[in-house]
Amino acid sequence: MPTSFASFIDVTTQSMQKIKSFLILPALLLAAAPFVAAQQANVNLDWAPQKNTEKLVPYGGNVISPEVHDDHTITFRLKAPDAHKVELTGGPVLLALKAKENVPFIKGSDGTWTLTVGPMKPNIYVYRFLLDGVAIADPNNTLTGTSNQPGYSNLVVHDSKPAYYDALNVPHGSITRHIYHSAVLNGEREMFVYTPPGYDPKKKYPVLYLLGGSGELASGWMLDGRANLIADNLLAEGKIVPMIIAMPNNQVIHRNDPDHLQKTYKLFEEELRKQIVPFVDAHYSTVKDRKGRAISGLSMGGRHTEAVGFNAIDLFSSFGILSAGDLEPEKLNPAFFADPKIKEKVDYLLVGLGSGELDFVGKRSAATHAALDKAGIKHEYFIGGEGAHDWGTWRLLLHDKLLPNLFKK
């Protein structure tokens, strides 16, 4: 393992072998019980966690919610006898339902509010309840989002088999949480670093610096984006190059600061140059040149990729602008577009967004695409998937486009 200030380290292969040997006897004893397989949904990294085969109320809950049926319909429940109105809200879930407004629940005689919707296409969707006008996370859903914003819930609509972002029976890499002091931002910062299965300190690995959006924490790409599981699965299929994925916190100014955009670019570039990249290079066996580094991000992280990454062509050779862009790219980064050798310096560049967010970031993405075209800079412009400005889009872009195209010789 690399030396670090790690607060926690994922279970290693060696540790797993010890755990497996310790659990052999209990596993054999339980194998004869016919109901064991059905009990695993709440203890394993299950790909259909809300199917609820056993019909058991979550620990600490009072009703089952959400309950995802095999026909891809979903039943939500909320026990709130004194409430006057309960609705389902959240951009991703409403888009999937093609609902133009919040969807109301029906109150039962026992004070339980119920709503059945769908069918919905298999994916993971963010949602909230509106309880008498107040947005809340589903209090009975154990899959609660953790981010730099008010709480939300995740709905997992399963297919007939695990998805590309699920934990599969393949070799898994490790994630280390680092806490480091930033002299640039005058405080303690965190960064999550993924190393591929079989990481060997004697080898040199390229690094993808993967950034979150507004309101995200450094853990967003791991928890909601499932970047490590996606990388594991792609590696097992031989579709990507083994790489390190560094997931720093690119929140450097409070998102509601009125001068947020003006302040953040300069600060984050300084943080990248003086803290983040040197830290990763010092603690991991990396390819320490621009050809071995890529930077990508979603939403605000995509803007950081364009504004900061394009300004750091000495550090990076590959870029992923996900659900982002700028209306005047040449003004944002005049040196990048004026560089006569820029065509030779860019190894891979993705401008990608979801088909459901054309009205949200579509013009900015299109403007960036047009500017790159005008400058003759080779890049991939991709609009796909059925998601909008949400993790459904970003997981797809990571899996289908970004990771498979990085660090190709």
The DSSP secondary structure of 152-220, one letter per residue, reads: -EEEEE--SS--TTS--SS---EEEEEEEEETTTTEEEEEEEEE-TT--TTS-B-EEEEE--TT--TTH
Tell me if 167 is assigned to some domain.
no
Residue 330 has pLDDT above 80, yes or no: yes
Confidence (pLDDT) at 214: 86
Residue where a domain stops, chosen among 113, 131, 157? 157
Mean local confidence (pLDDT), 284-305 = 96
What is the dihedral angle through the alpha carbons of 284, 308, 403, 339, rounded to the nearest 10 degrees?
-110
Q: In this structure, are 143 and 228 located in the same domain? A: no
Residue 125 has pLDDT above 70, yes or no: yes
For residue 150, what is the domain's CATH number? 2.60.40.10
Confidence (pLDDT) at 40: 52
Q: What share of the chain is helix, strand, coil (3-state, %, to 5)?
A: 30, 25, 45
Per this entry, what is the length of the chain?
A: 409
Q: In this structure, are 140 and 203 located in the same domain? A: no
Residue 9 has pLDDT above 60, yes or no: no
Q: In this structure, are 142 and 236 located in the same domain? A: no
Q: In this structure, are 178 and 317 located in the same domain? A: yes
Pairing of strands 187-195, 207-211: unpaired
Cβ(374)–Cβ(261) under 8 Å?
Answer: no
| Amino acid, single-letter form, for residue 103 | V
Half-sphere exposure of 277 (CA within 13 A, CB side): 22
Q: In this structure, are 141 and 187 located in the same domain? A: no
Tell me if 76 is assigned to some domain.
yes
For residue 360, what is the domain's CATH number? 3.40.50.1820
Q: How far apart are CA 265 and CA 350, in angstroms?
A: 20
Residue 7 has pLDDT above 50, yes or no: no
Tell me if 20 is assigned to some domain.
no
DSSP, collapsed to helix, strand or coil, labels residue 233 as: helix
Q: In this structure, are 153 and 201 located in the same domain? A: no
Per the structure, how many domains does the chain have? 2
Confidence (pLDDT) at 31: 38
Tell me if 6 is assigned to some domain.
no
Residue 36 has pLDDT above 60, yes or no: no
| Amino acid, single-letter form, for residue 31 | A
Q: How far apart are CA 248 and CA 245, in angstroms?
A: 10
Half-sphere exposure of 98 (CA within 13 A, CB side): 5
Take residue 409 and report the two structure tokens written for it: 């010789």
Q: In this structure, are 269 and 357 located in the same domain? A: yes
Q: What is the per-residue burial (b if ≥16 Cβ within 10 Å, else e) of 76-87?
A: bbbbbeebeebb
Q: In this structure, are 153 and 191 located in the same domain? A: no
Cis peptide before 404 (omega within 30 of 0): no
Residue where a domain stops, chosen among 102, 123, 157? 157
Mean local confidence (pLDDT), 75-104 = 95
Confidence (pLDDT) at 28: 36
Residue 62 has pLDDT above 60, yes or no: yes
The boundaries of the domain holding residue 72 are 48-157
Most confident range (mean pLDDT) of 33-42, 57-66, 141-150, 180-189 is: 180-189
Q: In this structure, are 123 and 190 located in the same domain? A: no
Cα angle for residues 5, 10, 15 (degrees, 5° grid): 115
Q: In this structure, are 211 and 319 located in the same domain? A: yes
DSSP, collapsed to helix, strand or coil, labels residue 142 as: coil
Backbone angles phi, psi at 182, to 5 degrees: -105, 115
- The tens digit of pLDDT for each residue in 319-329 reads 999 999 999 99
